[in-house]
Copies of this chain bind each other. A is one copy, B any other.
Amino acid sequence: MTTNTLLTHIHQKVPLTEADNSLILPYFTPKLLRRRQYLLQEGAICTHLSFVAKGLVKAFNIDEKGIEHISLFGSEGWWISDFGSFVNAVPGMLNIDAIEDTELLMISRENYEELLQKIPKMERYFRILYQNSLVTKDKRLISSITDSAEEKYLGFANNFPQIVQRLPQNLIASYLGLAPETISRIRKRQAK
C-alpha cells in the first residue's frame, strides 16, 4: 500500500513499467512515525529524503525566544527533508516531527545517488519535482511579501485543501507568519 502511493506519485510525472517499479522499490525503506515523534532534530545531518505515504509532518526551526516557525508541511505525496543538510551533508537547521501517525518511505543519500545514476527516469522525476518546487517557493515568497493576511490564508486553503482541515490553527498561523487570532477571525468571516 505504502509503496503504491510512491509509485503512483512518480508515475504521474514519469511513466513507469512494472520492471521500473521492481528496480526502484529496493532503494527505499519504510518507517513509521507516531504522532509527535521526531524524524530529525536541529544540528543533525539529514541523511535521507522521506516520502510521506500517509499522515502529516511539519518542519520547523525554533528561534532564540523558543518560538516555533514552521517552514514546511508534508502530507500524502510530499517529500520532506532538511534539503540543504541532505544535499551538502552538513548539520541542518530544521526539526521535523509528526502531527499525525505517519508512514514514510525513506531513501538514503547513497541510495539516492545510485538510483539517479542507474535509472534515468528518476533523474527526470526529481528534475520535474525540483522544478515545480522552485516555482512554488517563488510564489510563496511573493505571497509572503505582497499578500494581506486574508489572502495568505485563502491561498493556503486553496493550495492545500487536503490538509487545511487537519491542522490546528496555531500551526497554520506559524506557517503563514500570522497570529492565531487572525486565522480564527478570517475563518469566522469565511463561514458566514
Count residues on chain A whose CB falls below 8 Å from chain B CBs. 28
Whole-angstrom CA separation of A146 from B93 in the bound complex? 12
Whole-angstrom CA separation of A130 from B131 in the bound complex? 6
A141 in contact (CB, < 8 A): yes
Q: Which of B88, B131, B145 contacts A135 (CB 8 A)?
A: B88
Binds B, one of A4-12, A20-28, A116-124, A166-174: A116-124
Q: Restricting to A21-78, which residues have a CB under 8 Å from any CB of B?
A: 61, 63, 69, 71
Q: Which residues of B contact A131 (CB under 8 A)?
A: 83, 87, 126, 130
The answer to whether A83 touches B130, judged by C-beta atoms less than 8 angstroms apart, is no
The answer to whether B132 touches A127, judged by C-beta atoms less than 8 angstroms apart, is no
The answer to whether A134 touches B137, judged by C-beta atoms less than 8 angstroms apart, is yes
The answer to whether B134 touches A123, judged by C-beta atoms less than 8 angstroms apart, is no
A19 in contact (CB, < 8 A): no
Q: Which of B63, B127, B135, B139 contacts A116 (CB 8 A)?
A: B127
CB distance from A145 to the nearest CB of B (A): 8
CB distance from A117 to the nearest CB of B (A): 9
The answer to whether B141 touches A141, judged by C-beta atoms less than 8 angstroms apart, is yes
The answer to whether A84 touches B130, judged by C-beta atoms less than 8 angstroms apart, is no
A18 in contact (CB, < 8 A): no
Whole-angstrom CA separation of A132 from B133 in the bound complex? 12
5 tightest A-B CB contacts, nearest first: A130-B130, A127-B127, A84-B135, A123-B123, A120-B120
